[in-house]
């Protein structure tokens, strides 16, 4: 990655974040990493609930310093007329608004799309919700786990004849955030031609459903309902988890035709490598149990490192499930600058994930961890031309 030779890709853009928790804030985080000025609006006194989620340090979530890095915090009560007035003044000069309230909430405050776009016709608004802005379910509350369930992912996660399991992270929210950012960038590109903004309607369940590969056409054309399959990848063989001598597991993906041959030769099964039934994936998939059994018969007699070394030498895709400790110790993560550090208010350094995607000329950048609640309130109001006396009165009334 070459050195930054100029302004970041989104420098000069102003983003107003009205959301909280995961999906909306994740989207604006990505924009902020590439130079956009992100103003995060939080309720005075409590702030974004994410501040208290999972593991805390000095009363603040460690997650906070990932989700809210590079942002400015404006503590503002959106339920008050004065707070709503401040939002309108911000929106008048903003490029993008990101929100993930339940549909209709912003409209109750006269901060919906129609009102804000009339105020600023160039405005782009990313709206992320459980079920979207239209349809019979629009008013239902929806978190990522519900979107993952309705989108089809939760049914496939786990082992046959067992309850479905959670993926382990809020993947539905994060996918929706990515679609929201893609939509915002598309709208920015179109705005260069038309001079007009538009809104992006992202639903959690749709973001998950869009990832479901051949799930729908297989059902439509062949009547196949895709089922959970544990660590295997049905219809793509071999691709599975295999137990080693020490009880650890390795993941082996030998599903390319030439890769399969190299894999079989590496484990001493040249007979399977040359078997005409297994020359292509469709034939191998009909005998997945036989092939998986041959592979695990080999891995069970060898330590994990030996399996990894042998198959890497044979140019067969192989790996193992990384823990956080594995990630921190991995030289490739370090070489790719995927582990960075931010300095916290107490002076401590905190490791955080690096920035994606990697741009060669104007890469993203982390300026610091998450801000304190209302840390930038005075700065933002000063920029709007709201005098200090007015600010003091707003503070007394709990508006800021």
pLDDT tens across 360-383, in order?
A: 999 999 998 999 999 999 999 999
Look up residue 269 and give its two tokens: 């099964």
66 and 54 Cβ atoms separated by less than 8 Å? no
**Catalytic residue list contains 173:** yes
Residue 6: its pLDDT value, please? 62
> Predicted confidence band at 321 (pLDDT cuts at 50, 70, 90)?
very high
Domain ranges across the chain? 14-210+335-396, 239-243+249-319
> Predicted confidence band at 143 (pLDDT cuts at 50, 70, 90)?
confident
pTM for this entry = 0.93
DSSP line for 246-314: TS-EEEEE--SHHHHHHHHHHTT-HHHHS-GGGSSHHHHHTTHHHHHHHHHHHHTTS-HHHHHHHHHHT
Fold agreement between 14-210+335-396 and 239-243+249-319: no
Residue 1: its pLDDT value, please? 36
Q: Topology of 14-210+335-396 in CATH? A: Rossmann fold (3.40.50)
What does the pLDDT average to over 313-318? Answer: 98
Query: What is the average pLDDT value for the chain, to the nearest integer?
Result: 96
- The CATH architecture annotation of domain 239-243+249-319 reads 2-Layer Sandwich (3.30)
pLDDT tens across 147-179, in order?
A: 999 999 999 999 998 988 988 999 999 999 999
> Catalytic one among 37, 48, 173, 201?
173
Long-range contacts of 155-159 (CB under 8 A, 24+ apart): 155/228, 156/226, 156/227, 156/228, 156/229, 157/228, 158/228, 158/230, 159/228, 159/229, 159/230
Long-range contacts of 53-60 (CB under 8 A, 24+ apart): 53/21, 57/344, 58/344, 58/345, 58/346, 60/370
């Amino acid at each position: 990655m070459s050195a930054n030779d100029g302004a970041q890709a989104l420098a000069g853009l102003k983003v107003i974040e009205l959301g909280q928790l995961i999906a909306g804030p994740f989207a604006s985080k990505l924009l902020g990493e590439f130079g956009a000025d992100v103003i995060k609006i939080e309720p005075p006194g409590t702030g974004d609930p994410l501040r208290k989620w999972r593991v805390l340090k000095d009363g603040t979530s460690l997650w906070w310093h990932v989700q809210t890095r590079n942002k400015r915090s404006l503590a503002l009560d959106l339920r008050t007329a004065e707070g709503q007035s401040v939002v309108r003044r911000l929106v008048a000069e903003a490029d993008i608004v990101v929100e993930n309230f339940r549909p209709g909430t912003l409209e109750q405050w006269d901060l919906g799309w129609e009102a804000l776009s009339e105020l600023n016709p160039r405005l782009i608004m990313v709206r992320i919700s459980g079920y979207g802005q239209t349809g019979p379910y629009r008013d239902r509350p929806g978190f990522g786990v519900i979107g993952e369930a309705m989108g089809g992912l939760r049914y496939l996660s786990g082992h046959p004849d067992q309850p479905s399991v959670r993926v382990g992270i809020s993947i539905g929210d994060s996918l929706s955030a990515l679609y929201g950012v893609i939509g915002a960038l598309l709208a920015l590109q179109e705005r260069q031609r038309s001079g007009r903004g538009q809104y992006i309607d992202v639903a959690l369940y749709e973001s998950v459903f869009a990832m479901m590969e051949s799930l729908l056409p297989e059902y439509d054309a062949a009547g196949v309902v895709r089922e959970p399959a544990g660590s295997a990848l049905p219809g793509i063989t071999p691709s599975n988890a295999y137990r080693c001598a020490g009880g650890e597991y390795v993941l082996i993906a030998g599903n390319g035709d030439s890769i399969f041959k190299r894999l079989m030769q590496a484990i001493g099964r040249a007979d399977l490598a040359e078997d005409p039934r297994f020359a292509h994936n469709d034939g191998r998939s009909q005998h997945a149990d036989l092939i998986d059994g041959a592979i695990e018969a080999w891995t069970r007699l060898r330590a994990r490192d030996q399996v990894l070394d042998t198959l890497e030498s044979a140019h067969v895709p192989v790996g193992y499930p990384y823990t956080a400790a594995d990630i921190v110790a991995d030289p490739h993560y370090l070489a790719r600058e995927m582990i960075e550090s931010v300095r916290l208010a107490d002076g401590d350094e905190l490791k955080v994930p690096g920035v994606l995607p990697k741009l060669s000329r104007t890469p993203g950048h982390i300026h610091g961890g998450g801000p304190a609640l209302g840390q930038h309130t005075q700065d933002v109001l000063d920029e709007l031309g709201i005098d200090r006396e007015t600010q003091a009165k707003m503070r007394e009334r709990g508006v800021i």
